[in-house]
Chain A
Amino acid sequence: MQASKKLSGMKIKDHDGNEVVIPKTSFGKKATKGFKQNWQIYSLLLLPLIWLIIFQYIPMAGNAIAFRRFAPGGSILGETFVGWHFFQMFWADTIFWRVFWNTVILGVGTLLWTFPMPIIFALLLNEIKSKKFKKVAQTLSYLPHFLSVVVVVGLIQQLTRTAGPINNLLYSLGFERIPFLMRAEWFRTVFITSRVWQTTGWGTILYLAALTNIDPTLYEAAMMDGANRWQQTLFITLPGIAPTVITLLILNVGWVLGVNFEQVLLLQDPLTFRTSDIIGTYLFRLGIEQANFSFATAVGLFQSLIGIFLLTITNLLSKKLTDTSLW
């Protein structure tokens, strides 16, 4: 069977020296044959595909309501076509632009802090000789990753309240007590710090795995040549983990506007909206709480499109500059 597959479409000579073309199997025939052979495999795919269509692709098509006016009790896909109406509405809305820039600043700020930290922490852990110390340090640093967003926000509130540990420390150093979560100018600092706390330990897993894959003979050779630890890190370790770093960077840039909507929603307060209100929370308020379905969907669609755009651009740049890409 394998052989006939490869031979199909080839020209061979028969006994009399005439050229004969082995007939190609048609696509339809191949498809039925492939299906008959593998129908049990396809049936495994059936339920997951139904799920995928219902919970991913139908909502995707549901984005159509961004272009239609929705009436309560009316069709789920909206009543009348209004074109770019809702997009123009939020483009003209000053609150939207405030929310948009908040999202960009918070997303980029979070990325700038949370991205390098696991790399640094992994490099430091890599220098530890004691296996036991290393393992305990790793395990304990994973703890924040396993906590629910609700618990994390509870911990932040307890740490930052005016009679809490952080304010006690500030007070003993001679500073004023600050109600951090009520102050717009502190929101980004609090949020980014909490993200660093949650992601640094867990983020080291991939880098530590990449570090163990570096060929040890490279270090031996470098030592023969008289390279010190710092030079070894610079010329062997860092290039060794570079592909991992770049792949993760591309993914993270693509998701930069996703921020961490659930955490912002729980952490924000109307008093801090000036800096804490992001696209996710804005469309949650409009869409879910105030039932402006079409308007909120238009905002969400806009956010998704920016995400795809960012991902494509970074992927392209990385392909050009470093030969590492997602697709």
Chain B
Amino acid sequence: MKESLGYKVFKVFNYSIITGFVFLCLYPFLQIIAESFSSESMIRGGHVNLIPRQFNTWTYQVMMSDPLFWINYRNTLVYTVVGVVISMILTTMAAYALSKKDLMGRGFFLFLFAFTMFFSGGLIPTFMLVRNFLGWANTIWAIVIPGAIGVFNILIMKTFFEALPKELEEAAIIDGCSQMGVFIKIILPLSKAVIATQVLFYAVGAWNAWFPALLYMQDRQLQPVAMYLRGLVMGANSLTTGAMAESGAGQQGVSQNVGAVAIILTSLPIISIYPFLQKYFVTGVTLGAVK
């Protein structure tokens, strides 16, 4: 079909808008990469624009030789792995049980889960439960257990399980397989795609989490790397400048260069992985939309 002149003009306009927007998405990150390789004085003078000035890798060396950085980095790794394992076990079990349409009380259990999406216990009661009642301050459990289940993730998995053909399970039961056997030997191997999606969602959340650590981890040796970064980044805030000067993270405010390096090092793992997992998270998001 012949395209009208108006549509041709629109196409040019459309390509430029999308290119422009994508550039804006990347710009802050590209800028921080440039700053991480530049000298402090060039950054402070405002001379760095996407291209490093007075190229230096010294800050990377300094940061990587800070033992606390590596301790916190390792903590993040441990919290992420342990957290994802716990989350996945709980989520998969709940989702499979709730996907059984003939299960007595299914509606009630579903309601119990879904209700918490709209009305939750709130910050203070949860904080008091975890800290005072369970006594989990400065333990890994405070980080990985209270937020272990995302109800939305259960709903995504449930939708996936419901769509699996019933005949498979029935055939296995007739062959003498127990319900647990069906779940472990038949359902789980068929669900690799949705499991990958969920692992990705939980892992991104756990890797980026800092608020549970702010609430429950006073010991700097136990904090995740996001808290290390927060210490550096928040230096520019008048509320915390005093505290930062004390902790020695920066003299006369925080170094822009150091902040840039910390930002790059903490977000690098996720940023270098996510483009290759696009198939999985798109599946996950769209499954969640199907009621």
Stretch of A6-14, A16-24, A92-100, A297-305 on the interface side: A297-305
Cβ-defined partner of A150 (8 Å) among B94, B113, B123, B233: B233
Q: Hey, which chain B residues are within 8 Å of A65, CB to CB?
A: 124-125, 128
The tally of residues in A whose CB lies under 8 Å from a CB in B reads 93
The tally of residues in B whose CB lies under 8 Å from a CB in A reads 98
Q: Is B121 in contact with A148, judged by CB distance below 8 angstroms?
A: no
Question: A163 CA to B41 CA in the complex, in Å?
Answer: 11
Question: A158 CA to B10 CA in the complex, in Å?
Answer: 35
Q: Hey, which chain A residues are within 8 Å of B22, CB to CB?
A: 137, 140-141
Known interface pairs A38-B103, A151-B267, A288-B127; A206-B119 also in contact (CB < 8 Å): no
19 new A-B contacts, CB < 8 A, other than A143-B271, A148-B267, A151-B229, are: A38-B103, A40-B179, A42-B97, A51-B145, A62-B124, A62-B126, A76-B132, A121-B18, A143-B26, A143-B274, A146-B267, A147-B267, A150-B210, A158-B256, A205-B281, A206-B286, A283-B123, A297-B124, A297-B125
Residue-wise interface mask of B (263-275) relative to A, using a CB-CB cutoff of 8 A (1 in contact, 0 not): 1001100110011
Stretch of B29-37, B54-62, B64-72, B189-197 on the interface side: B29-37
Cβ-defined partner of B104 (8 Å) among A34, A156, A247: A34
**B129: interface (CB < 8 Å):** yes
Q: Hey, which chain A residues are within 8 Å of B148, CB to CB?
A: 51, 55
Q: Hey, which chain B residues are within 8 Å of A58, CB to CB?
A: 121, 125, 129
**Chain B residue with minimal CB distance to A255?**
B118
Within 8 A of A (CB), among B233-287: 233-234, 236-239, 256, 259-260, 262-263, 266-267, 270-271, 274-275, 278, 281-282, 285-286
Show 6 residue pairs from A and B whose CB-CB distance is below 8 angstroms, ordered by the A residue.
A41-B103, A60-B120, A127-B10, A159-B31, A161-B256, A304-B119
Q: What is the interface of chain A mostly: helix, strand, loop, or mixed?
A: helix
Question: A141 CA to B29 CA in the complex, in Å?
Answer: 12
Interface-centre pick from B45, B89, B179 (highest chain A CB count, 10 A) = B179
Residue-wise interface mask of B (1-37) relative to A, using a CB-CB cutoff of 8 A (1 in contact, 0 not): 1001011001100110111011011101101100100
Within 8 A of B (CB), among A258-283: 262, 266, 269-271, 280, 283
Residue-wise interface mask of B (124-138) relative to A, using a CB-CB cutoff of 8 A (1 in contact, 0 not): 111111001100000
Residue-wise interface mask of A (245-264) relative to B, using a CB-CB cutoff of 8 A (1 in contact, 0 not): 00100000010000000100
Question: A92 CA to B234 CA in the complex, in Å?
Answer: 33
